[in-house]
A and B are shown apart, each in its own frame.
Chain A
Amino acid sequence: MTLTINGKVSDSIRAATVQELLDELKIAPVRVAVEVNLTVVRKAEYGTFPIRDGDVIEIVNFVAGG
Chain B
Amino acid sequence: MEDKLVIRGIEFRSRLWVGTGKYKDFDETKRAIEASGADVVTVAVRRTNITDRKTENLLDYLDPGKYKILPNTAGCYTVEDALRYSRLAREAGVSDLIKLEVIGDDKTLFPDVIGLLKATEILAKEGFIVLPYTNDDPIMAKRLVDAGASAVMPLAAPIGSGLGIRNPYNMKIIIEQATVPIIVDAGVGTASDVAIAMELGCDAVLLNTAIAGAKDPIAMAEAMKHGVIAGRLAYKAGRIPKKLYATASSPFDGML
| A62 touching B69, Cβ below 8 Å | yes
Give A40 to B21 CA distance when docked, in angstroms: 26
Give A27 to B52 CA distance when docked, in angstroms: 10
| B44 touching A63, Cβ below 8 Å | yes
| A64 touching B20, Cβ below 8 Å | yes
Residues of B within 8 Å of A7, CB to CB, are 47
| B53 touching A66, Cβ below 8 Å | no
Please give the distance in Å from B84's CB to the nearest CB on chain A. Answer: 7
Give chain B interface residues in 12-67, CB to chain A under 8 Å: 19-23, 26, 29, 42-48, 50, 53, 57-59
Give A25 to B50 CA distance when docked, in angstroms: 7
| A62 touching B84, Cβ below 8 Å | no
| A61 touching B57, Cβ below 8 Å | yes
A interface, size bucket: 20 to 34
Give A31 to B43 CA distance when docked, in angstroms: 13
Q: Which residue of A lies closest to B208 (CB)?
A: A66
Give chain A interface residues in 1-59, CB to chain B under 8 Å: 5-8, 25-27, 31-35, 38, 40-43, 58-59
Please give the distance in Å from A11's CB to the nearest CB on chain B. Answer: 15
Contact of B45 among A8, A60, A66 (CB under 8 A): A60
| A66 touching B42, Cβ below 8 Å | yes
**Residue of B26, B42, B186 with most chain A CB atoms under a 10 A cut-off:** B42
Known: A6-B47, A65-B44. A43 touches B59 (CB 8 A): no
Known: A27-B53, A33-B92. A62 touches B43 (CB 8 A): yes
- Summed over the interface, the residue pairs from A and B with CB atoms below 8 Å come to a total of 100
Q: Which residue of B lies closest to A25 (CB)?
A: B50
Residues of A within 8 Å of B194, CB to CB, are none
Contact of B48 among A32, A40, A65 (CB under 8 A): A32
Known: A27-B53, A31-B59, A31-B92. A65 touches B42 (CB 8 A): yes
B87 within 8 A of A: yes
Residues of A within 8 Å of B160, CB to CB, are 66
Known: A26-B53, A31-B59. A63 touches B88 (CB 8 A): no
Known: A42-B91, A63-B58, A66-B42. A6 touches B50 (CB 8 A): yes
Please give the distance in Å from A59's CB to the nearest CB on chain B. Answer: 5
Residues of B within 8 Å of A27, CB to CB, are 48, 50, 53
Please give the distance in Å from B197's CB to the nearest CB on chain A. Answer: 16
Give A49 to B218 CA distance when docked, in angstroms: 45
B-side residues, CB < 8 A to A, are 19-23, 26, 29, 42-48, 50, 53, 57-59, 69, 71-72, 74, 84, 87-93, 159-160, 186, 207-209, 212
A-side residues, CB < 8 A to B, are 5-8, 25-27, 31-35, 38, 40-43, 58-66
Give 11 pairs: A residue, B residue, CB < 8 Å, sorted on A: A27-B48, A33-B88, A34-B91, A59-B47, A60-B46, A62-B57, A62-B59, A64-B20, A64-B44, A65-B20, A65-B44
